[in-house]
C-alpha cells in the first residue's frame, strides 16, 4: 500500500499568495467600477420655495426641448430659458436659433405688466399646448399682434407646441430684473 502523506503543508504554502491574489482581484474590481461608473445628476430642491401646485416637471430648457412632445397638456417649469427674440408684447421665442420654441404670456401675466427682453434668462411656469388656427385667432382677438407681420410669424408655429406662461421670473444670476415678474 501506498501512503499519501499529509496535505497540511500544501495549504500553508499557498495561503499568502492566495490572500494577495484576493486583494488584487478586489482592488481590480473596485478600479473597474470607478472607471466605468457614469456620473449622476442630483436635483436639488430649494427648501425656501414651495413647489408650485400642478407642475408635472421642473426641467432645464435643453432637456425640455429635447422631448417637448412628451409634456403636451401638462404644466411644467423651465429653468435657464434664454429669450432669443420677441414676438410682440405677449410672446417670445426661447431655445436655439435653428429650432426656437414659442412662449405666449397668459392673460393674467400680460395684465400684470410682465415683459421680457431678448437675451434675458428666465424661469417659466406654464402649460404645454398645441398651436391651432383657433388659438391663433384667439391671440389676435386678445391683441397679441401689433401688426400683420407678427401674426404671419406666429402662423409658422401652427401645428407645433407652444408654452402658455402663467409665471415668468428672471432666472439668471447675471441678469437684472429687466421687467420680468410673476403672476399667478
- Pick left, alpha or beta for residue 95 (phi over 0 → left; psi -120 to 50 → alpha; otherwise beta): left
- Pick left, alpha or beta for residue 177 (phi over 0 → left; psi -120 to 50 → alpha; otherwise beta): alpha
The tens digit of pLDDT for each residue in 21-70 reads 999 999 999 999 999 988 776 666 554 444 555 787 888 888 888 888 88
Pairing of strands 101-105, 121-130: unpaired
pTM, two decimals, is: 0.63
CATH number for the 55-170 domain, one of 3.10.180.10, 3.90.1010.10, 2.40.50.140, 1.10.260.40? 2.40.50.140
Interatomic CA distance for residues 181 and 184, integer angstroms:
10
Amino acid at each position: 500500500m501506498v501512503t499519501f502523506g499529509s496535505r497540511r503543508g500544501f495549504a500553508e504554502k499557498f495561503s499568502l499568495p492566495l490572500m494577495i491574489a484576493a486583494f488584487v482581484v478586489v482592488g481590480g474590481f473596485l478600479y473597474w467600477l470607478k472607471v466605468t461608473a457614469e456620473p449622476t445628476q442630483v436635483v436639488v430642491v430649494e427648501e425656501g420655495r414651495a413647489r408650485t401646485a400642478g407642475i408635472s416637471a421642473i426641467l432645464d430648457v435643453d432637456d425640455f426641448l429635447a422631448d417637448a412632445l412628451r409634456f403636451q397638456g401638462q404644466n411644467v417649469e423651465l429653468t435657464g430659458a434664454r429669450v432669443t427674440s420677441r414676438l410682440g408684447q405677449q410672446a417670445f421665442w426661447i431655445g436655439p436659433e435653428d429650432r426656437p420654441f414659442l412662449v405666449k404670456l397668459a392673460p393674467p401675466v400680460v395684465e400684470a405688466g410682465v415683459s421680457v427682453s431678448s437675451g434675458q434668462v428666465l424661469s417659466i411656469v406654464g402649460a404645454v399646448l398645441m398651436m391651432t388656427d383657433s388659438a391663433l385667432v384667439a391671440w389676435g382677438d386678445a391683441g397679441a399682434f401689433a401688426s400683420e407681420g407678427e401674426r404671419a410669424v406666429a402662423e409658422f408655429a401652427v401645428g407645433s407646441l407652444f408654452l402658455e406662461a402663467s409665471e415668468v421670473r428672471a432666472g439668471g444670476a447675471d441678469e437684472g430684473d429687466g421687467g420680468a415678474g410673476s403672476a399667478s
